[in-house]
A and B are shown apart, each in its own frame.
Chain A
Amino acid sequence: MDKRKLLLAEDDQMLASLLKYRLERDGYEVVIEFDGKSVKENLEVAIPDIVISDIMMPYFSGIELVDYVRNQLNSDVPIILISAASNDENIVSAFEMGANDFIAKPVSPSELMVRVSREIKRHYCT
């Protein structure tokens, strides 16, 4: 069975590396991007099965990324947003733009795994 492709957009290198390690252990093929511009370029080439993105990123925020994917690329790929600034405004605008889920930092890698698998099941297995 092919591995699910996952794009992880996170500017914190250590956290990205840690999450990548954890996701790869669970059978995902993970591509890490450290800023919004690279994420955009990557998405223009190929759309992954799921996107996990930090909201606060250089050049291109997570919310802008959701807007870009939904309106420019017209893709319904599941997007999970992560942010340390878990204020209502951020969360509401993320969901309004079309994000599928939101996780506040500090992130529990186990919780992230559950949410990723749930989104994939919801999107691809129904």
Chain B
Amino acid sequence: MHITKPTYQILTILGIPKIHTDLLWDLTFLFLVLGALYFVFVFFFRNKLSRLRLKTKGKRQELAPIISNFLFHSPEDPKDEQKEYVQLKIRIREYLNNRSFRKIISQILFDLQKDVAGGTRERLFKLYKQLELHHDSFQKLESWRWETVAQGILELSEMEVEESYQLIQKFVNDRRSVVRKQAELATVGLRKDGIDFLLDTTRHSISEWQQLKLIETLGKIKNYRPPQFKAWLLSQNKDVVLFALRLIKHYNQKGAEASIKELVKHKNDEIKTAAIQCIVDFNFVSTLGTLKKVFWKSSNMVKINILNAVASLGSAHDILFLEEVASRESSFIIVGKAQSTINTIKPETVLPSKDILKVSHDEGKKGSYSKMDREDTESNVNAIEFTYEEVTQSPPETIEVEDIEFYDAIEIPEPKNERQTTEPMDTAFELQPMEEGFENSIDQLLGVLPSIGEDLDSSALVDDYDSISELEKSQLVERLEEVPDERELPLLEHIAENESNPELRFKAFKAMQSIKQSVPMDKGGELPKKGTELPLEQQSIFYTLYQYASDLDSKLILLKELMDVGDEKEIPFLKGLLAVSNGILLKTVRKALDKLEKGCSEQEVPLSDEMPEVPKEMGGNGNTERIQNEDGQQEDLEDDERIPLELLFLYEELGIKAAKKEGQDTFPFDFELSKEFFLEGSRDKQNGKKDHE
């Protein structure tokens, strides 16, 4: 038996396979045939479709005058036209037997109804029925394909075939959404009571867009008298309720006040919101009470809507409610809305308080506010025309004025019992003593604590604190926390120890801490020691600049500058750089470090040898490295190589010049002296001796 060898052998992976050339030719032929078949198939169907299109166009052209004739035919037409009409009728009956012709006629009429109006459109609908084309649409309703059913419903509703109403109704709850929506529109459009049926029977949701389309369809019905839509506010379907509310609003049916009032209590937020909107639109003021009751159990969005309603319908009587909302609500959005609502009802009742600085004024004393404020005050004061008047009543001891700038500029006369007469001038500005009640009300408005002032009586404050309400306590502690004052320390301590509310206790404690931290600085106490805040290497001014230097050149330039102007502060920074630098940068860092270290050692040597002794009577103990400060505490010159400011004046009196160091004269307000001061002094002495010699 002869066994044929395979056409190619797998000898090696990289070897060239031996392919039978006949097989290649066979494959080529096969693909050519397939390609030809494909092109024939494409050409065939393309031609078929274009022929069909041309045929349809021809049929349309043929049918167009026939349809026009039918549409504009009148029994009063001349006999020739009557004859032509009859002939066309016979002809069209023949056409109607052809299914494709029926389809084309149906399509023509459907297209035309969109473009024509008036009597022509009415005649077109009649023609559609006379030609019994609606039966084709009925057949479409029986299709299992959803697009065919939807097309059938659309044709019947657009051609206003009222007989189809019963057939279309059953699609209102169809599970296919496109069919269902088309059926809803058809049901509403075909009969005046279609909307009633829809609202009664629909089980599905009605989208906002669909609602608008349905309202548009209702608008197209001639002589439409809408039913009382409040009947559907009881529906179990929330979308029906929402649609009913929309319809009530659209048709302005104000008789549904009680029902809408009840809907405000609905558990669904959408319905609540729609009902509130209705209330606002219809101006149902009597529902405000219900809205207020519902408010506390509602979501934030509903609360905002209720506050909007209160803003539209409310009066001054509702301000109490709004104030309660502003105080009780935790959400800042609601609080803000409540406050703006108050201002809507009664403008300028609530004034801005967020990030507003508390301005307290001490009578007769200036300087409790910043330099900028003072400048503003002076400029404003120049523009004020003062009035001199007869003062018959003693002015109050403290006056709280909203605009402190005025107050500072005006001198309050000392209390005098005797009548004082001054020159009258322009009455552009008058400052009159405030009544106590008015003053209190201003204080209340501004949130200013009446007892916080120069003559603060802490025991009275503590007593007052215990007697105020929880809300006031909370506000007070917040204010103390925002603007801590050392005079309030007793009160804060009292709060921190005795307050039952842990939050307030914590806030008081925080305020105490911040006061205690700020007191030593304010009182000119000791400055924090160097190195306690930043690592040593970061204390160099060059540290930050070096971080921003992006390329080698700028780093080198910086290091060069550092060599020229740097001092011992830069040494830790340079030591840190040594570890991370390489190449030319490393060399430059080393060079700078050597230079600075050398410079420092040169400075230190004479310091120990030549530094003049600080007189003992000035607190000095003869030791050049340690001097005694004003409080008798000893400072280490290594840490702070400066002498107190008081010594500067003494040295000036003694004729000793201040030290000048390269690179330091850029800080003119540095009143402290470096150790070079001593060097300069000793050099002067030596020079003086030499000159003398």
Contact = CB atoms under 8 A, between A and B. Distances in A.
Interface of A: 12-15, 17-18, 20-22, 25, 84, 105-111
Given A14-B111, A106-B115, A110-B119, 8 more contacts: A13-B64, A14-B60, A14-B112, A17-B64, A21-B65, A84-B115, A107-B115, A110-B120
A17 to B, nearest CB: 4
B116 A12 contact: no
Interface in B110-159: 111-112, 114-121
6 contacts: A12-B111, A13-B57, A14-B112, A106-B117, A107-B116, A108-B119
A14 B117 contact: no
Contacts of A22: 68, 72
Interface in B44-94: 57, 60-61, 64-65, 67-69, 71-72
A36 B67 CA distance: 26
Contact of B115 (A15, A20, A111): A15
B116 A21 contact: no
Contact of B68 (A21, A84, A106, A107): A21
Contacts of A111: 117-118
A13 B53 CA distance: 14
A82 to B, nearest CB: 9
Nearest to B114: A106
B258 interface: no
A106 B64 contact: no
B108 interface: yes
Contacts of B118: 108-111
A115 B141 CA distance: 42
B121 A18 contact: no
Given A18-B71, A21-B65, A108-B120, A13 B60 contact: yes
Nearest to A10: B115
Across chains A and B, which 5 residue pairs bring their CB atoms closest together, nearest first?
A: A108-B118, A21-B68, A17-B64, A106-B117, A108-B117
B64 A25 contact: no
A83 to B, nearest CB: 11
Nearest to A25: B72
A85 B115 CA distance: 12
A84 B68 CA distance: 21
A109 B118 CA distance: 8
A90 to B, nearest CB: 17
Nearest to B64: A17
Nearest to B112: A14
Nearest to A108: B118
Contacts of A25: 72
A25 B81 CA distance: 11
B112 to A, nearest CB: 6
Interface of B: 57, 60-61, 64-65, 67-69, 71-72, 108, 111-112, 114-121
Nearest to B119: A110
B556 to A, nearest CB: 66
Contacts of B108: 14
A120 B132 CA distance: 41
Contact of B121 (A20, A84, A106): A106
A106 B113 CA distance: 8
Contacts of B120: 18, 108-110
A12 B72 contact: no
B378 to A, nearest CB: 58
A14 B112 CA distance: 7
A17 B65 contact: yes
Contact of A21 (B57, B61, B69, B114): B69
Given A14-B60, A21-B65, A106 B116 contact: yes
A15 B116 contact: yes
Contacts of A110: 118-120
Contact of A14 (B64, B69, B72, B121): B64
A15 B72 contact: no
Centre residue among B60, B67, B119, B120 by max chain A CB count within 10 A: B120
Nearest to B107: A14
Contact of A18 (B57, B68, B117, B119): B68
Contacts of A13: 57, 60-61, 64
A84 to B, nearest CB: 8
Contacts of B71: 18
Contacts of A18: 64, 67-68, 71, 112, 116, 120
A105 B65 contact: no
A84 B114 CA distance: 10
Contacts of A12: 111, 115
A25 B118 CA distance: 18
A113 to B, nearest CB: 11
B72 A21 contact: yes
B103 to A, nearest CB: 15
A22 B64 CA distance: 12
A108 B116 contact: yes
A69 to B, nearest CB: 24
Nearest to A21: B68
A86 to B, nearest CB: 13
Nearest to A16: B64
Nearest to B108: A14
A12 to B, nearest CB: 6
Contacts of A14: 60, 64, 67, 108, 111-112, 115
A51 B119 CA distance: 24
A110 B117 CA distance: 9
B125 to A, nearest CB: 13
Contacts of A15: 112, 115-116
Nearest to B115: A15
B74 to A, nearest CB: 10
A12 B108 CA distance: 11
A47 to B, nearest CB: 27
A22 B118 CA distance: 14
A107 B117 contact: yes
A34 to B, nearest CB: 12
Nearest to B69: A21
Contacts of A108: 116-120
B627 to A, nearest CB: 88
B71 to A, nearest CB: 7
Contacts of B64: 13-14, 17-18
A57 B71 CA distance: 26
B159 to A, nearest CB: 14
A21 B123 CA distance: 15
A20 B65 CA distance: 9
A18 B60 CA distance: 12
